[in-house]
A and B are shown apart, each in its own frame.
Chain A
Amino acid sequence: MMTKWIGIALLMLSVQLHAAIEMYQFEQPEHEQLYKKMIDELRCLVCQNQNLSASNAGLAQDLRQQTYEMVSKGQSQQQIVDYMTQRYGDFVLYRPPVKLSTVLLWFGPIIMLLMGLIVLMMSLKKRKQATDEALSEEQQLRMKQLLDKGEK
């Protein structure tokens, strides 16, 4: 019984949280789609690991409002991206453009992976060689000597 009431109380809390998110009316479904896409792809500058849609920071609200207004005026995705990067730099984009300064960001992981694969292949090859090679006569003689010594 108690858990049921707690459950209901929690549900009411979640409704309250959602109520804090602003509601926007869109005249065209494409506008709404673009708006949703943009706020997913733009970063909240204040809370850096959230996008605009997930953040409730004041600046995120303002930027959502700005995005909404631009979308409603029929501006394109590129125009919105330009507006944001002009003010906040490439950092505002979750998918920054490929440039000299972002090369490491884009291709670093692949380079690391390739380097790891090369090292792995090299060491596997070495290990195989080491086990495959038969002992030379000299080495066999020395092995025998050592084994004999041990038996005494």
Chain B
Amino acid sequence: MKNSLPLIAFVLLVILLGVGLTLDPREVPSPFIGKPAPTFDLPKLYASTDSISVAEMKGKVWLLNVWASWCGACRAEHQVINRLVKNHQIEIIGLNYKDNADQAKQWLQELGNPYASIAVDHDGRTGIDWGVYGVPETFVVDKKGIIRYKNIGPVYQQDVDNTLLPLINQLQQESS
């Protein structure tokens, strides 16, 4: 018994460090989960005199997908986003983050435009308001305008199947 003390200590340390290995230090927990989505009122990419705001999305479950044409991982996730919209009629607002409008339009022409509308965040201010630190990022907002989930980095098909769709379906059931 006496001799097993170091062994127990060692095993505990291994468990502690082992748990540490499974965590991703790049995933900063968002302080916004469960909080109201920060407001924005931004010009649209395709109609710069027209604007889009968070307020007008109230009563709907929607996604905010932060992307830019200079972002390689956005390109990687874009087909997944396209499929999600095509197969499940989900409204996704694009937040075009610190991008050049012409390049952004070019990019969408090439890869397809799944967005219900696209808000232009030219100077990255709205990105800061939403706590964005790396594109792509995807937020799920419920009918009451509360952020319920944040996907950091590219959305993979398995994220859609295992996390996003079940959550969206659940949120659709909730009253607004």
Contacts and interface: CB of A to CB of B under 8 A. Distances in A.
B26 A48 contact: yes
Size class of the A contact interface (CB-based, 8 Å) = 10 to 19
Contacts of B107: none
B15 to A, nearest CB: 14
A62 B130 CA distance: 14
Interface of B: 9, 25-26, 28-32, 98, 123-124, 127-131, 133-134
5 smallest CB-CB distances across A and B, nearest first, come from A45-B133, A87-B131, A89-B31, A91-B28, A62-B124
Given A89-B28, A89-B29, A58 B124 contact: yes
A120 interface: no
B124 A87 contact: no
A86 interface: yes
Contacts of A48: 25-26
A59 B31 contact: no
Contact of B128 (A62, A85, A89): A62
A80 interface: no
Contacts of B30: 89
A91 B127 CA distance: 17
B134 A86 contact: no
Nearest to A87: B131
A88 B132 CA distance: 8
B128 A58 contact: no
A88 B27 CA distance: 11
A45 B128 contact: no
Q: Interface centre among A63, A85, A86, A88, by most B CB within 10 Å?
A: A88
Interface of B is mostly: loop
A66 B28 contact: no
A57 B127 CA distance: 15
A60 B10 CA distance: 40
Nearest to B32: A87
B29 A91 contact: yes
8 contacts: A59-B133, A62-B127, A62-B128, A87-B128, A87-B130, A88-B28, A88-B133, A89-B29
Contacts of A86: 31
A85 B9 CA distance: 36
A132 B9 CA distance: 29
A87 B150 CA distance: 13
A46 B133 contact: yes
Q: Interface centre among A46, A58, A59, A66, by most B CB within 10 Å?
A: A59
A47 to B, nearest CB: 10
Interface string A105-135: 0000000000100000000000000000000
B134 A46 contact: yes
Q: Interface centre among B9, B26, B131, by most A CB within 10 Å?
A: B131
A83 to B, nearest CB: 9
